[in-house]
Amino acid sequence: MSKIKNKCALFGMVGLLTSLLATPSWAELKVGLVLDSAGKDDKSFNSTAYDGMKRAEKELGIVAKTVEAPDPSSYETLQRAFADKKFDLIIAIGFLQLDAVKKNAARYPDQKFLLIDSDAQMPNVRSVMFEEQEGSYLVGALAAMHSKTGKIGFMGGMDVPLIRRFQLGYEAGAKKINPKIEILINYLGVTAEAWSNTPKAKELALAQYNRGADVIFVAAGNSGMGVFDAAEAQNKLAIGVDSNQDGIKPGHILTSMLKRGDEVVFDSIKLLKEGKLTPGLFRYGVKTKGVDYSVDSFNAKLVSADDRKKLEELRAGIISGKISVPDYYVIQKKK
Amino acid sequence: MDESQFEHILSTWVLPVLRVSTPLIFAALGGMWCERSGIVQIGLEGFMLVGAFFGAVSTLYFSNPYLGFLIAGIAGVMLSLLFGLGVLKFRANQIVAATATNLFALGVTPFFSKIWYDSTGSTAPIPTESQFKVAPLYLMGLTVLISTILFHYSKFGLRLRFAGEHPKALESAGVSVLNKRWQGIMISGFLAGLAGGTLSIYLSSSFIRNMSSGRGFIALAAVILGKWKPIPTVLACLLFGITEAVQIRLQGVVLWGSEPVPVQWIQILPYLITIVVLAGAVGRSYAPKGLGQVE
């Protein structure tokens, strides 16, 4: 398999280099976006970042180049290709790119980087982290409000700390509404293939529904489609993640836990243009609506005004500090 | 056992195992036929991907899963012809040619997906009414039956096996080895294409990029575990299916003490079982003698 991946990386590089040759050289801002292997159409986190980039291209008149890393070994070379071409900002999506960003930030000290989902702690990197546990807390509460069986499910993609963070927040939110609720937990795998294994996701979701769960929150990239299929087949509910996925199976997706990568990418490019982009760690939580739950025409019938009122109370509680949401990263550090 | 209990076991154990095993069985039988003809086949993954893609596309287009399933198989054959051209006509290294096939499939599917559905990630979802209910399970059973009969009791099966075991003997009997190998490759393309169709039309409702997720390689492991024979190969696939189903049920379950079994331990089960079975229970697994040899 590694042979295959190396070759993919090579093809990726060739594609990137040829596309860079076509870049005009006048004084427009040049921004390079390195997505991870799920790609720009994962209907999930990469999609949101790509949307932000497209918006910036249209509204701010920048030169935007997007590449997809075929596998984790190519992050470094893809970022370097942008740095060598003197791009004004390189945006790296996903915690998997942390090491590559650290290396390249040291190698190109004058190059500006934006890393999303992890903290690089370098003087030329702006790191952005989302408080996923806060958004997950809200959708967990909503899941508990809608569960008739007193059982709900969680399905993670690859078993990594980031997804554990979703899980902990979700459990805490559900238990706030119903302390006796039972939460079934599954992970799809321990390799990157867990993000694109829809058949297995569907099978796991059917198993959870069979065991009595009636709402499942899925944080598994492309694999989430399998859970939505199962929800439709069993006439149960699922909760989407990252982008607004409510429209994929209308009536079966209770809400989506939004992670506004689009806002962060757009705002950062805007700051860059104004010369105000500063390095350091920035956190986006429910306060700034960097993470949120979705309400739109597709799920308006599912989420009642009372539900929303209750959720807004919880949001206020989190912001004021009255409710403390467990954070997997913090817990891991203490261990 | 009353009826509801029976239904419970059926829906929680038997059907999930069969569903998970079905794509493996299709692909593994295809791989077995091809390897038996003397061609190393690590390109199953690629055939599965084009099968999954074109199966989903044609099901969407014709609103008929049976037609889509057939086209999935044909798409697999098309790609296998390209592979055959490389290894049989131009004598390319079989491993390299199959790797190229896999890469080609990995790249060409999002390419067309972008053109037709403006998305490199997935095709449009297949509406529920044009999805399969259970048909692929029956078709899988039929395939196993036909494969077994052809393999053990037909002139065709005997000749194809000799193309891989002792090509010179077959040649001296006046039968073209090359023809048998073309047939072996095309069967693997067709069956692996059906495996892909199973993934996109039956087990999900759209094509997702790289949705085969290594199943082509697991199928190949099943062929080796099954000693390149149809029934043992199918049993090996079922074994993988069972471990997968067990793995699905055991996740987050407390077996002893207060902590659930860590998910990583449960997920190594299929691999652990492969090693144990290969090392202990079945003894040595012999490859066809002429496998990978080009004269």
Structural domain contains residue A329:
yes
Predicted confidence band of residue B128 (pLDDT cuts 50, 70, 90)? confident
- When pLDDT is averaged across residues A27-35 and rounded to a whole number, the result is 89
Give the per-residue pLDDT at A56.
94
Q: Which of A186, A229, A248 sits opposite B252 (nearest CB)?
A: A186
Chain A CB contacts of B43 below 8 Å: none
Structural domain contains residue B13:
no
Q: pLDDT higher for A6 or B40?
A: B40
Interface residues of chain A, partner chain B, Cβ below 8 Å? 1, 3-4, 7-8, 11, 38-43, 47, 68, 159, 184-187, 189-190, 193, 196-200, 202-204, 206-207, 210, 222-223, 225-226, 229, 232-233, 248-249
Residues of the domain holding B83: 19-281
**Residue in B with minimal Cα distance to A208:** B249
**Out of A280-294, A315-329, B222-236, B256-270, which region has the weakest mean confidence (pLDDT)?**
B256-270
Query: Count H helices, E strands: chain A?
Result: 11, 12
Structural domain contains residue B63:
yes
- When pLDDT is averaged across residues A215-236 and rounded to a whole number, the result is 94
| Residues A315 and A171 both lie in one domain | yes
| Residues A247 and A317 both lie in one domain | yes
Helix extents (H) in chain A: 2-21, 45-60, 75-84, 98-107, 132-146, 161-177, 198-210, 224-234, 261-273, 305-320, 328-334
Is the pLDDT assigned to residue B9 strictly greater than 50? yes
Q: In this complex, do A196 and B110 lie within 8 Å of one another by their Cβ atoms? A: no
Query: CB distance from B263 to chain A under 8 Å?
Result: yes
User: In this structure, how many other beta carbons lie within 10 angstroms of the beta carbon of residue A319?
Assistant: 14
Structural domain contains residue B4:
no
How far apart, in Å, do the first and last CA atoms of chain B sit?
Answer: 60
Structural domain contains residue A6:
yes
Chain B CB contacts of A233 below 8 Å: 128
Task: Check which CATH number belongs to the domain holding A69 and give it.
Answer: 3.40.50.2300
- When pLDDT is averaged across residues A270-278 and rounded to a whole number, the result is 92
Chain B CB contacts of A203 below 8 Å: 16, 19-20, 203, 244-245, 248
Structural domain contains residue A296:
no
Domain count, chain A: 2
Query: CB distance from B246 to chain A under 8 Å?
Result: no
- The whole-angstrom separation of Cα A75 and Cα A70 is 9
**Residue in A with minimal Cα distance to B267:** A189
Distances (CA, A) of B227 to B32, B160, B232: 9, 16, 7
- The whole-angstrom separation of Cα A47 and Cα A42 is 6
Give the per-residue pLDDT at B294.
63
* pLDDT, tens digit (0-9, with 9 covering 90-100), for A65-123: 999 888 888 999 999 999 999 999 999 999 889 999 999 999 999 999 999 999 999 99
* pLDDT, tens digit (0-9, with 9 covering 90-100), for B65-112: 999 999 999 999 999 999 999 999 999 999 999 999 999 999 999 899
Indicate the burial class of A260 (C-beta count within 10 angstroms; 0-12, 13-18, 19 or more): buried
- The whole-angstrom separation of Cα A69 and Cα B284 is 41
- When pLDDT is averaged across residues A50-75 and rounded to a whole number, the result is 91
| Residues A251 and A278 both lie in one domain | no
Give the per-residue pLDDT at A4.
52
Chain A CB contacts of B211 below 8 Å: 196-199
Structural domain contains residue A270:
yes
Query: Count H helices, E strands: chain B?
Result: 13, 0
Predicted confidence band of residue A24 (pLDDT cuts 50, 70, 90)? very low
Query: CB distance from B24 to chain A under 8 Å?
Result: no
* pLDDT, tens digit (0-9, with 9 covering 90-100), for A285-334: 998 889 999 999 999 889 999 999 999 999 999 999 999 999 998 888 88
The pTM of the full predicted model, rounded to 2 decimals, is 0.84
Structural domain contains residue A291:
no
* pLDDT, tens digit (0-9, with 9 covering 90-100), for B167-211: 889 989 999 999 999 999 999 999 999 999 999 999 998 998 888
Q: Which of B19, B20, B214 sits opposite A193 (nearest CB)?
A: B214
Is the pLDDT assigned to residue B126 strictly greater than 50? yes
Domain count, chain B: 1
| Residues A175 and A111 both lie in one domain | no
The residues in B 76-95 lying below 8 A from A, measured between CB atoms, are: none
| Residues A101 and A188 both lie in one domain | no
Structural domain contains residue A114:
yes
Predicted confidence band of residue A1 (pLDDT cuts 50, 70, 90)? very low
Q: In this complex, do B119 and A11 lie within 8 Å of one another by their Cβ atoms? A: no
Q: Distance (Å) from the C-alpha of residue B45 to the closest C-alpha of chain A? A: 11
| Residues A85 and A175 both lie in one domain | no
Predicted confidence band of residue B252 (pLDDT cuts 50, 70, 90)? low
| Residues A175 and A319 both lie in one domain | yes
The residues in B 100-119 lying below 8 A from A, measured between CB atoms, are: 102-103, 106-107, 110, 119
Predicted confidence band of residue A22 (pLDDT cuts 50, 70, 90)? very low
Give the per-residue pLDDT at B1.
56
- The C-alpha angle with vertex B39 and arms to B36 and B43, in degrees rounded to 5, equals 110
Predicted confidence band of residue B231 (pLDDT cuts 50, 70, 90)? very high
The residues in B 43-72 lying below 8 A from A, measured between CB atoms, are: none
| Residues A194 and A330 both lie in one domain | yes
Is the pLDDT assigned to residue A25 strictly greater than 50? no
| Residues A168 and A312 both lie in one domain | yes
Structural domain contains residue A37:
yes
| Residues A83 and A211 both lie in one domain | no
| Residues A97 and A136 both lie in one domain | no
Q: In this complex, do A222 and B121 lie within 8 Å of one another by their Cβ atoms? A: yes
Q: In this complex, do A199 and B23 lie within 8 Å of one another by their Cβ atoms? A: yes
Task: Check which CATH number belongs to the domain holding B191 and give it.
Answer: 1.10.3470.10
Give the per-residue pLDDT at B137.
93
Mean pLDDT of chain B: 88
0.90 surpassed by complex ipTM: no
| Residues A139 and A113 both lie in one domain | no
- In degrees and rounded to multiples of 5, residue B208 shows phi and psi of -120, 140
Structural domain contains residue B293:
no
Residues of the domain holding A95: 2-130+261-284
Give the per-residue pLDDT at B246.
79
